Structure 1
Amino acid sequence: MLKEIFFDQVKPAYGCTEPIAIALSTAVGKEHSTGELKAIEISLDKNTYKNGLVVNIPGTDIFGLELAASLGYICGDAKKGLEVLKNINPKCLESAMKIKNLVKISLNEKNYLFVDTTIISDNNVQILIEGKHDNIAKIVIDGKVIKNEKFNPKKTSIEKIKNFSIDKILDYIENPDTDILDFVEKAIEMNLEIAKFGINTEGNFSNAAINEYVKYVSAGVDARMSGALKPVMTVAGSGNQGLSCILPLALYKDKVSKDKLLKATLLSILVTIYIKAYTGLLTPICGAGTISAAGAAAGLTYINNGNKKQIKNAINDTLGTLFGLTCDGAKRGCALKAITGTLTALQVSNLALHNIDVPCGNGIVAEDVEETIRRVGKLTNSVKQFDRDVLDFIGKC
């Protein structure tokens, strides 16, 4: 089952996955549309809207949900899933700018990922992406339903990881499926490439990094948020989470055996997915700065020969320290939140290896790491009003 969960939750993507979900919806819709485009109407949940407002579209230095929709319609390749805008070029950008004003965005009341797109031309095509960035749940053409897979949040692949414990995940990584390790290696190389691109970019946040871990994480996140046309291996629907839970381990590439590196990175990925199962994919809590940091802390402790108790303490203490670091939308500044998470992961892992940890009962920290994670999930739900209130400020100087 972990193999199924892994491959469903770890995928390459170009650009921030919320605008990409919008682009994917219009790319799929275009395949069924006929005649001249008259309008594109898109209804979004507040989190997708929040994360798409001011993040650059891949291959451009421009942001905007309307542009994401236009690019998906003009040059998106629906068959590529989260890589839908892989082939963006100046010509399709120019064409997309001409139809951008035909796109109308509105908010709905859904509390999970929900992109409801209607393309109006000689026919009307509705595309619904629900629950996950690349889950095409419904296709309706002129009122005729040609696909309808009702979304059940209790039956998603990520929900299934709740059947495991951290101990079971730790047991699994000692004897994982070979094809998963091969894919983890691909993830490391992919995320290192965009990090190196960012490091060599003038003005990138990594230019003032205080150590190598911070340098690579901030470089990758900043480059991605700035529109670099390079793929990132996402984890639990987020490229920033993928960068933040993979890159701190990737820097051990020449320091430990390949087997140790891949298993430590796999642990970081699976812990990140495990926590996201309790918080939800899109939340008011920063995934890269908090949740991936807990994954990275687990991986860092493992790669330095920590035992099970030390690994679980590292997860516990990271969550106890960083919970409350909010997500105020996708943007370049996410790199600084990822830095905060990385620095905490490094510190907490070192403390865990010295058998120093936050006592249970201190704040939200429980004795059992699974209980701490459940508490994080509950508290995440309790601060969801933040998602609505923060929309009053994003993009306004």
Structure 2
Amino acid sequence: MIRGIFFDNVKLSYGCTEPVAVGLSVAVGKDYLKGELRKIEIVMDRNTYKNGLEVGIPGTHMHGFEIAALLAYLVGRSDFGLEVFKDVTSDMVSKAYELKDIVSVKHESDVRLHIRTLLYGDNEVLVEITDSHDHVSKVVVDGQEIFNTQSSVNFKKDVVKGITLNEIFEYVENPDNDVLEVVREAIEHNLQISSIGLETEGNFGKVIDGVPGFVAAGVDQRMNGALLPVMTVAGSGNQGISCVVPVKLIADKINASQEKIEKAVLMSILVTIYVKAYTGTLTPICGAGSIASAGATSGITYLYGGDIEQIKSAINNLLATLFGMTCDGAKRSCALKASIGTQMAINASKLALSNTNIPCGNGFTAKDVEETIRRIEILTNSLKRFDEDVIDFIGHC
């Protein structure tokens, strides 16, 4: 079961996953479109809209769903999945910009991830993506339904919620080989973008010390539109960077074995997926700054030889401190939130390793970390008005 959860939630992507999902819907629609493209109409849920407004599109110095949609039409392929932008070139960027007026983008108050894309040529093609960024759930051509697999998000969330942290810890000690292969790939890609970020003039990570600066560098590079692959975790590349990179860097610092590194990074990934199942894929809570950092602190504590109870305490310490850091869309300042989360992940681990746990009843913190996580689900739902209001401010000085 945990192997399946891992592969459902760990995937390679070029660029922020919200514009990528829009791009994928267009690439799928292109497979069914006849004649010359005349118009694209896109309607999406408010959280997808929020996350895609100000984030850089891979291979460009621009942002906006319009450019994302047209680049996917020009160079994307449906079989690329979340890698739909990997063939972007400067020539195609210029061409996409010239065509941007044929794309219209709107949002609605749907609380789940839901994108409806209509392409008009000599026929009309509707493509819907629901629940996860690469789940194409419906295709309709000239009113005729080609397929419909409406879905599964609640089922998949319930599967994740059906496991326990103890089961995650047990799996980490005896993981499947194909899972570890992906863990190694995640380390390679997510470290690479962070390293490149640190060499890029103006990158936020260059002025932040230590491990937090390294994490910030990768997130900033990604948010700025770098055409580089990142291993996403629970639907987010920023979460992927934030839960993989700090664990690997600290492992290197203490000369951990390769086996210990891979298991610690796997721990971090699985804990991130677990907590994210309670907050939801797209939420008013910052995934990189608070959720992935809960994963990172579990991996760091594992590296230092912490036992199960200390790992749970580290997660509890982290969530009790950083839950409430809001998500006001994907953009460069996500790097700074990720750096804060990384520093707290280190501190939460130190506290746990000294057998210090934030006491039960301090705020929403419970004695049992899994009860703390369940309370976070309730609190996340209470913050949904934030998502409605913050859209009015994004992009407006």
Fold shared per TM-score above 0.5: yes
d(CA) in 1 for partners of 2:373 and 2:96? 43
Q: Does 1:171 align with 2:183?
A: no
The residue number in structure 2 matching 1:40 is 40
Aligned partner letter, 1:232: V
* Alignment match of 1:240 (pick from 234, 238, 241): 238
Q: What TM-score does the superposition give when structure 2 sets the normalisation length?
A: 0.98
Aligned partner letter, 2:237: G
Q: CA deviation at 1:353?
A: 0.3
The residue number in structure 2 matching 1:204 is 203
The superposition leaves residues 331-390 of structure 1 with CA deviations (integer Å, 9 ceiling, x where unpaired) of: 000000001100110001001000111001111111111111111111001001101100
The residue number in structure 2 matching 1:115 is 115
d(CA) in 2 for partners of 1:46 and 1:244? 24
The superposition leaves residues 46-80 of structure 1 with CA deviations (integer Å, 9 ceiling, x where unpaired) of: 00000000101000110011111111111112111
CA RMSD after TM alignment:
0.9
The residue number in structure 1 matching 2:324 is 324
Moved more, 102-111 or 140-149: 102-111
d(CA) in 1 for partners of 2:181 and 2:79? 23
The residue number in structure 2 matching 1:345 is 345
Q: Give runs of ≥4 in structure 1 deviating > 3 Å.
A: none
The residue number in structure 1 matching 2:73 is 73
SS at match of 1:253: helix
Q: Does 1:186 align with 2:185?
A: yes
Taking the TM superposition and a 5 Å limit, the aligned residue runs for 1:266-305 are 266-305=266-305
The superposition leaves residues 109-155 of structure 1 with CA deviations (integer Å, 9 ceiling, x where unpaired) of: 21011010000111000000000000000000001111100123322
The residue number in structure 2 matching 1:256 is 256
Aligned partner letter, 2:316: N
The residue number in structure 2 matching 1:102 is 102
d(CA) in 1 for partners of 2:380 and 2:208? 30
Q: CA deviation at 1:159?
A: 3.1
Q: Unpaired runs of 5+ in structure 1? A: none
Q: CA deviation at 1:198?
A: 0.2
Aligned partner letter, 2:260: K
d(CA) in 2 for partners of 1:143 and 1:231? 36
d(CA) in 1 for partners of 2:353 and 2:64? 45
d(CA) in 1 for partners of 2:12 and 2:77? 15
The superposition leaves residues 179-206 of structure 1 with CA deviations (integer Å, 9 ceiling, x where unpaired) of: 1111101110110111110010011111
Aligned partner letter, 1:174: E
Q: CA deviation at 1:4?
A: 0.8
Aligned partner letter, 1:256: A
d(CA) in 2 for partners of 1:106 and 1:208? 37
Q: Identity over aligned residues, as a percent?
A: 53
The residue number in structure 1 matching 2:214 is 216
Q: CA deviation at 1:264?
A: 0.5
Q: CA deviation at 1:106?
A: 1.1
Q: Residue 52 of structure 2 contacts residue 64 of structure 2 at CA under 8 Å; is this kept in 1?
A: yes
d(CA) in 1 for partners of 2:134 and 2:94? 26
d(CA) in 2 for partners of 1:293 and 1:260? 19
The residue number in structure 2 matching 1:381 is 381
Q: Residue 132 of structure 2 contacts residue 153 of structure 2 at CA under 8 Å; is this kept in 1?
A: no
Aligned partner letter, 1:214: P
Taking the TM superposition and a 5 Å limit, the aligned residue runs for 1:52-91 are 52-91=52-91
The residue number in structure 2 matching 1:5 is 5
* Alignment match of 1:225 (pick from 212, 219, 223): 223
d(CA) in 1 for partners of 2:209 and 2:199? 16
Q: What TM-score does the superposition give when structure 1 sets the normalisation length?
A: 0.98
Q: Does 1:160 align with 2:159?
A: yes
The residue number in structure 1 matching 2:31 is 31
Aligned partner letter, 1:171: E
SS at match of 2:116: strand
The residue number in structure 2 matching 1:372 is 372
d(CA) in 2 for partners of 1:36 and 1:344? 52
Q: CA deviation at 1:7?
A: 0.8
d(CA) in 1 for partners of 2:62 and 2:387? 23
Moved more, 312-321 or 95-104: 95-104
Aligned partner letter, 1:378: I
SS at match of 1:392: coil
d(CA) in 1 for partners of 2:26 and 2:272? 30
